[in-house]
Chain A
Amino acid sequence: MSSIIQIRNLIFEYEKEENGEPVRAIDGVTLDIEEGSFVAVIGRNGSGKSTLAKNLNGLFVPTEGTVLVDGWDTRDDEHIWEVRQTAGMVFQNPDNQLVSSIVEDDVAFGPENLGVEPSLIRERVDRALSSVRMGEYRHKAPHQLSGGQKQRVAIAGVIAMRPKCIIFDEPTAMLDPRGRRDIMKIIQQLHEEGITVILITHFMDEAVRADRVIIMDKGSVLLDGTPAEVFSRRERMLEVSLDVPVAVEIAAMLRSRGIDVPEDVITPEDMVEFVCQYR
Chain B
Amino acid sequence: MSIQVRNLSYIYNEGLTSETVALDNINFDIYDGEVAGIIGHTGSGKSTLLQQLNGLLKPRGGTIIVGGTDITRPGISMRDVRRRVGLVFQYPEYQLFEETVALDVAFGPKNLGLREDEVDERVHDALELVGLDYDEVAGRSPFELSGGQKRRVAIAGVIAMKPQVLILDEPTAGLDPGSHDEIMAMIRKVHESQQNIILFVSHNMEDVAALSDKVMVMDRGKLITVGTPKEVFRQRDRLAAIALDVPPVTEMMFQLKERGIDVDTGALTLREAEESIYDYLRGSKAK
Contacts and interface: CB of A to CB of B under 8 A. Distances in A.
Q: In the complex, A touching B, CB below 8 Å?
A: yes
Interface stretch (B135-143, B228-236, B274-282): B274-282
B102 to A, nearest CB: 22
A259 B252 contact: no
B42 A241 contact: no
A144 B181 CA distance: 33
B182 to A, nearest CB: 9
Contacts of B148: 45
Contacts of B260: 279
Contacts of B76: none
B173 interface: yes
B179 A275 contact: no
A59 interface: no
A46 interface: yes
Contact of B270 (A147, A241, A253, A268): A253
A173 interface: yes
A276 interface: yes
Interface residues of A, number: 32
Nearest to A181: B243
Contact of B278 (A202, A254, A269): A254
A134 to B, nearest CB: 17
Contacts of A243: 177
Interface in B204-241: none
B203 interface: yes
Contact of A202 (B177, B245, B274): B177
B255 A176 contact: no
A270 B56 CA distance: 48
A246 B249 contact: yes
Interface string B163-206: 00000000001111111010000000000000000000001000
A254 B281 contact: yes
Contact of B41 (A177, A205, A253, A268): A177
Nearest to A92: B174
B284 A278 contact: yes
Nearest to A202: B176
Given A250-B252, A253-B278, A272-B252, 10 more contacts: A44-B178, A45-B148, A146-B42, A178-B243, A241-B177, A241-B181, A242-B177, A250-B273, A250-B274, A279-B260
B281 A275 contact: yes
B174 A174 contact: yes
A223 interface: no
Contacts of A253: 270-271, 274, 278
A241 B148 CA distance: 14
Contacts of A205: 248
A24 to B, nearest CB: 17
A242 B180 CA distance: 10
Contact of A272 (B255, B281, B285): B255
A278 B263 CA distance: 13
Nearest to A267: B252
Contacts of A35: none
A275 B274 CA distance: 12
A250 B277 contact: yes
A174 B261 CA distance: 36
Closest 4 CB pairs of A and B: A241-B178, A268-B252, A253-B274, A243-B177
B264 interface: no
A143 interface: no
B261 A279 contact: yes
Counting chain B CB atoms within 10 Å of each CB, the highest count among A146, A205, A246 belongs to A246
B204 to A, nearest CB: 9
A13 interface: no
B115 interface: no
B146 interface: yes
24 contacts: A44-B179, A45-B148, A45-B175, A45-B176, A46-B146, A146-B42, A174-B174, A176-B42, A178-B41, A205-B248, A241-B178, A241-B181, A242-B177, A246-B249, A246-B252, A250-B252, A250-B277, A254-B277, A254-B278, A268-B248, A275-B256, A276-B261, A278-B280, A278-B284
